[in-house]
Every structure is written in structure tokens, then in C-alpha cells.
Amino acid sequence: MPKLTNACGEDRRWWGVMPILPAPVMGGIAKQMEAVGFEGCFSLQIYGPPFVPMAAVAAMTDTLKVSTGIAVAGTRSPVETAFAAMELDTISGGRFVLGLGTSLHSAVCGIYGEPKRKLLTHLREVVKVVRYVNANAHKGMEPVHGEYFNAEWTEMMLTAPPMREEIPIWIAALKDKLTSMALEIGDGLMVHALWTVDYTVAKKNFIEAELARFGRKRSDVEVNAWPWIAINDDKQQAINDSRATVAAYVGYKEYEAFFDTIGFGDEARACQLAGGEHGDVISVIKNVSDEMVEAFVKCGPVDEVLEKIEPFWDVVDSLCPMTPYRDLTMEQLTMYNGGLYQMVAEAKRRQAAS
């Protein structure tokens, strides 16, 4: 059996998503992740700052990396983002990865009440400021002036040295422009869950060409994918249980061009919801076919799903499998989450045996 490796010829790395629960429960989940062999875990920003739960997880674990997956760049000052990252890196003993993303105008403006900005320009500026503060707050900083951020640091006192002067920053992306920017300035590229297996494989040449354009090696950037996975011996039930999650994502007008690119434009338009209606996908769920579900969610028993996601490893370094989540009971969510642990444990066993 050939050695099972990732795109850089290294061991395959697995991440998980940490739900927001009482601390003892989160601690139990995190310890289970460590025991199974997960590399790390992410906390989503829905809707509070994702640094808080990762601090709790870091305090209850020894080896598990912790990351924001993602922290929305436009909802706080980049100075606060920098210090939150530095503090989490200290709490975790150097196990923190800062995951950043733009989100959508409809979320940044419509949920958080922030002004409309050029999302990519703003994110680039945030990354620059975060890195500058991380590296210099304990030494002294020169004034910074940008398109969206200006600081003279007149009230800034020198801080204690950080755990690390360079905390890894991974950038989440869906479309080409943001993907390119992540490959240019990021330490990692977190590809959107809408990147299907086939789409990810098709983007390999783009990723390599962009890295070459920016003078970077493939090993300079961790490529991390977030596939939806529904482990269930009853494959049709897994498909049915995943339909609402797919309907919710394809219903966003902002994603229409992307779905056109991958061949699901008509289906996406049939699922689009008006502003304020995204909490209820029942009215459009009938427009999501089994074929469309299976394009975005890998459904079935462990062996079948591992075979379906195998092509990812020719492009990515790590995977963060997620369960479908819309319109499911707690019992169903628990079952599908347990399936992810079974799958990762089996994948780790196969890698050790290869």
C-alpha cells in the first residue's frame, strides 16, 4: 500500500469544528479530538467573537491547535484582533492560528451594522496591521495610515513580549480574487465549504500558478479544505438530512456567479431567498436535487466517503470535515458528529498502516 500523504508529501492533517457549549462539554469534545488525532479545531463567528471559545479549549488541552474559523475582519478593530490573537497564543502556549475572512456585505453590514467597505482591500489592511502589532507592540510602533485604519499609538504602552512575534494567519476564500490574495499574503488558505472535490482538484493549477507568481513555494501556504460530510449507512437518509444545508448556502445572491461557474446556476437561482428570509429554507428545499446535495456533501458509510474525498489530498494539506446542520435535531447532529470521529479515526489508522 503506498504511503498516504497530503499535497506536500507530509502526513494528512485533520481539523474539527468546536460547537459553543458549556465548558466541561467542550473540554470533553476537545480531549476526544486529541485522542483521535485531530491536528486542531476551529470556532466559527456566529455571531460572537470566536476567540472566546478557543481560549476555553486551549486551557483544557495539551496538543490540540486552536483557531478562529473564521474571525470576520470587518467586525472589530485590527488592533483588537491582533491582541486577541496574541493573548490566545499565550494561553495556548503557541498553538493558535488566526483564521480571518471577509464574510459578505449582507452580513458585515446587515448583522453587525458596520459600514460598507471594499472587502478585499480592508482584509489586506487588517492582515498588515495585525502582523505589525504582533511583531512590534512590545518594542514600539511607528504611526500607521491606511485606507480604513489610522493610528498614531499616542496612548499605547509597551506590552510584554508575545509568545511568538509571527502568529500564522490563514485566510478563508471562495472566489479567485480572494484565493489569490490568500496565496499572496497568507500562511494558509482555507477554502470555502462550497469548494467541491471536483472544483478543488480543478483549482490545483491555479493555486500553483499563483504561488509561483508571488515567488512562494507550495510548502509556504497550508491549504485547508472544509468538506461537508454526512456519515450514515443509510445513504439516502444522509442526502435528505443534508438538503436544507445546501439550500441555505445556494440561496445567497452573492454566491450566484460562483454557482454559475460550477454548473449549478439555475438551481441556485431557484433557491435564492429575499433579504431577511435566510433563516427559513423550507420554501426552497424542494429545488435542491439529490445530485446537487451529493456535489457538496459526501454522504454514506465511512469507507465510501473516504474514497469520495481522497482526491482532495492531491491539492490540500489538511481537511476540516463538517456535518450538515440546518433543520436537524440535536440527536441527528450528535450522530453525524460521531460519524466524523469514526471517519477520522479510520483515516488515521490507514495512514499509520501505509
For residue 251, the model assigns a pLDDT of 82
Q: pLDDT averaged over the chain?
A: 95
Q: pLDDT of 231-270, one tens digit each?
A: 999 999 999 999 999 998 888 888 888 999 888 998 889 8
The greatest distance separating any two alpha carbons of the chain, rounded to the nearest whole angstrom, comes to: 62
Measure the CA–CA gap between 273 and 283, rounded to whole angstroms: 9
Contacts with 93 (C-beta within 8 Å, 6 or more apart), sequence order: 58, 163
Measure the CA–CA gap between 272 and 108, rounded to whole angstroms: 19
For residue 278, the model assigns a pLDDT of 60
Q: Amino acid identity, residue 279?
A: G
Percent of the chain whose pLDDT exceeds 70:
98
Measure the CA–CA gap between 99 and 170, rounded to whole angstroms: 5
Q: pLDDT of 265-304, one tens digit each?
A: 988 898 887 666 566 788 889 999 999 999 999 999 999 9
Helix (H) or strand (E) holding 298, with range, is: strand 297-300
Q: In whole angstroms, what separates CA 12 from the centre of its chain?
A: 17
Q: In sequence order, what are the beta bridge partners of 173?
A: 191
For residue 2, the model assigns a pLDDT of 85
For residue 235, the model assigns a pLDDT of 98
- Pairing between strand 65-68 and 96-101? parallel
Q: For residue 148, how many other CB atoms are within 10 A of its CB?
A: 14
- Name the pLDDT band for 212 (thresholds 50, 70, 90): very high
Give how far Cα 51 sits from Cα of 43, 74, 87, 94, 286, Å: 8, 15, 9, 14, 37
DSSP 193: T
CA proximity to 126, closest of 161, 93, 172 = 172
Contacts with 205 (C-beta within 8 Å, 6 or more apart), sequence order: none
- Pairing between strand 40-43 and 297-300? unpaired
Q: For residue 212, how many other CB atoms are within 10 A of its CB?
A: 12
For residue 254, the model assigns a pLDDT of 82
Q: For residue 199, how many other CB atoms are within 10 A of its CB?
A: 17
For residue 314, the model assigns a pLDDT of 98
For residue 186, the model assigns a pLDDT of 98
Q: Is the pLDDT of residue 1 over 70?
A: no
CA proximity to 159, closest of 128, 126, 134, 132 = 134
DSSP 144: E
For 27, the grid coordinates are: 473540554
Percent of the chain whose pLDDT exceeds 90:
86
For residue 275, the model assigns a pLDDT of 60
The answer to whether the pTM exceeds 0.75 is yes
Question: DSSP 3-state assignment of 100?
Answer: strand
CA proximity to 137, closest of 59, 84, 76 = 84
CA proximity to 33, closest of 94, 86, 95, 99 = 95
Measure the CA–CA gap between 241 and 235, rounded to whole angstroms: 10
Q: Mean per-residue pLDDT for 75-80?
A: 96
Q: pLDDT of 306-320, one tens digit each?
A: 999 999 999 999 999
